[in-house]
Amino acid sequence: MQSETTTATTPDRTSPPDVHEFSGLTLPGSNHTVLSNGIKLTTLDNGAQPVYRLTLRWDGGNLDTPCQEVPQVMAAVINEGTDRHNGAEIAEILEYNGAWTRYESSAHYFGATLFGLTARPGEVLDIFTEVLSSPVFPDEVVTARRDKLAAQCRTSREKITSKVQDIFLPMTYGADAPKAHRSTDRDFMGVTPEMVRNHYRRHLKATPPRAYLAGRLTPELVAEVTRRLEAMTFEPVGNPVEIHSVAPQFNPEGDFRRLTVDDSLQSAIKIAIPTIGRDNPDYETLRLASVAFGGHFGSRLMQNIREDKGYTYGISAQLATLPGEGSFLVISCQTDNGFVDGVLSEINSECGRMASEPLSDEELTGVRRLILSALAGVLDSPFSICDYMISQQELGQSTGSYLRLQETARRVTAADLARAFSNHILPNQHLTAIAGK
């Protein structure tokens, strides 16, 4: 019998591979229902792996609470004991079933997330909803976690990037705004177990959350989740925690502040430029312009200030938008104390160049591909898709923004980006904060 001989093909490493543009990027559909207790449940059946994620989101976060440190402590200790299980038992149940949880308090939201195996939902869902329905917040655990958060805060406040925020946030939001509050270790040490329990009663126990179930879903899993969620009860107590957005209130005393830090080898620079919000038809175009300006490694700020001048290891600019709080182009970097004036000069120069010198074809192609790659990345997993849906909902946007950004990236011209920067960035006030020696 004659054997066949196969010849290995040597790859051609002298020519780059063909690059194809993304096309047909579409978010999958989801289902929505309101449960009998008021929980709004969104389900997304997507993905090949037999796993799921259940996320619960409550409106109201750190900025919406008189003591902003309380919800942060609550997030750190909520899974450390219920009226039926202690923290070790809760951890053992989750680990045995291949599941894990995450609790977090952000500016305007509190989130609880469960990751689990599609085939083993029962015991895991029971313990997850038990933690959210009947936590006991043991005194000794609250005190220990509070002390740890205080120590972490104390260490973080020593960083130059934290010190610049001490002057930057009051400039952009007003000295008395919740957004300008800067937690200290003393603030954390003032949190008591009873404050945490009271906040839980006014927040998680008082208001039904939004729930998002994503992954490889079966009818049985959806039924199990629905049954557990509907069994949760809510009891309004006093004034519930609600979102209180604060509009920017720019510092009337000036648009430049410097904080002297005698022992610092580096200076941190932050610049905020107020601009249009998401409801403006130019917003998506300006978003692409901000990426070209300072949103990736090949951006104009990086090429000039890092690559050409060597003033910094990295500089970034991003369009920051929060619901009800306006929109900013925020520029951030660290540099040697002796290079501060040079960095500020080059930032101003690049602002002018963005408006007067349109992107080259190569620059525009790079920005377009970067945006489309990021949009394609949203589709990587059911969890990333769900994260996108949550973020858009909490920003007051529909999932139609996904298609709008995609179409803008495909059709925008270099002249469009220059015009957006000229109209919405160049003439606006620059709020500059510097911390360093």
Query: Given a cut of 90, is residue 77 above it in pLDDT?
Result: yes
pTM value is: 0.90
Query: 307: which 2 tokens?
Result: 């690559």
Predicted pLDDT at 18: 81
Q: Residues of the chain with pLDDT > 90: what percent?
A: 81
**Alpha-carbon span 256 to 416, nearest angstrom:** 31
Task: List pLDDT tens digits, range 139-175.
Answer: 999 999 999 999 999 999 999 999 999 999 999 888 8
56 touches 204 (CB < 8 A): no
- The structural domains of the chain, ordered by start, are 31-230 (3.30.830.10), 256-436 (3.30.830.10)
Average pLDDT, the chain: 93
- Kindly report the CA angle at 285 between 280 and 290, in degrees rounded to 5? 110
- Between 19-23, 118-122, 357-361, 429-433, the lowest mean confidence (pLDDT) is in 19-23
Predicted confidence (pLDDT) per residue in 334-370, tens digit: 999 999 999 999 999 999 999 999 999 999 999 999 9
List pLDDT tens digits, range 309-339: 999 999 999 998 866 656 899 999 999 999 9
Which tens digit of pLDDT belongs to each residue from 57-72? 999 999 999 999 999 9
Q: Tokens 């009800």 identify what position? A: 324
Q: Greater confidence, 254 or 2?
A: 254
Pairing of the two strands 266-275 and 327-336 = antiparallel
Q: Rg (Cα) of the chain, in Å, rounded?
A: 25
Judged against a pLDDT cut of 70, whether residue 295 lies above it is answered with yes
